[in-house]
Amino acid sequence: MRYEMSMDREFLLPATRRFILASFIAAVLLEWLPWHGMALVLRPDFVGLMLLYWCTHKPHRVGIGIGWMLGIFVDVADASLFGQHALAYTVLAFGGLALNRRVQMFSLKEQSVHVFVLLLASYAVYALVHWQVRGYVEWNYFLGSLTSALLWAPLTLLIQTLRRPRRNPNEL
């Protein structure tokens, strides 16, 4: 199975700036969906997942600066505490860049464990900021890192499918 995944990676089309930007726009739009109740607690961090995907698969194109700018944009878009997402996404991007080769060595199930740990670190930053501002931490907020890690494999497969070259119907 691992050999097949490594063979698939060799034949992916290069990720253009437009494709990366479109994926971030789609992630922000998913963040803006109206979440209520328990769904809000379990809501995955779509932007964080997308940032982590690009930091691990294209580290020369997406890095800490992109993570910080994306975090500032999400802070403004969500009307949350200014800099909270920027700090968390900077930590997440650093972890993705530092572990990019390690994460790609494993199967998708094993990658999800690494992603879970990186997302826990990012959510810990959210918790620290929340604790500093409000004086308490909501522990059920960490459930979002679990649902985000569960979405890692489908997200990776979706993006790799979109990046595969299209076959010409006239070829044999």
**CA pair distance 128, 104, nearest whole angstrom:** 30
Region 94-120: what's the mean pLDDT?
A: 92
Q: Worst-scoring range by mean pLDDT, 26-30, 150-154, 156-160, 162-166?
A: 162-166
Query: For residue 29, what pLDDT is reported?
Result: 93
User: Is residue 169 assigned to a domain?
Assistant: no
**CA pair distance 86, 162, nearest whole angstrom:** 28
User: Is residue 7 assigned to a domain?
Assistant: no
Report which residue type is found at 75: D
User: Is residue 34 assigned to a domain?
Assistant: yes
User: Is residue 31 assigned to a domain?
Assistant: yes
Provide the domain limits for residue 79.
Answer: 22-158
Band (3; pLDDT cuts 50, 70, 90)? very low
Q: Worst-scoring range by mean pLDDT, 43-47, 70-74, 84-88, 136-140?
A: 136-140
Q: Worst-scoring range by mean pLDDT, 9-18, 27-36, 102-111, 133-142?
A: 9-18
Element (H, E) at 158: helix 152-163
**CA pair distance 46, 157, nearest whole angstrom:** 15
Is residue 7 over pLDDT 90? no
Query: For residue 94, what pLDDT is reported?
Result: 96
Mapped onto helix, strand or coil, the DSSP state of residue 47 is: helix
How many domains does the chain fold into? 1
Residues 6 or more apart whose CB falls under 8 angstroms from that of 7 comprise none
Query: For residue 53, what pLDDT is reported?
Result: 95
Query: For residue 16, what pLDDT is reported?
Result: 87
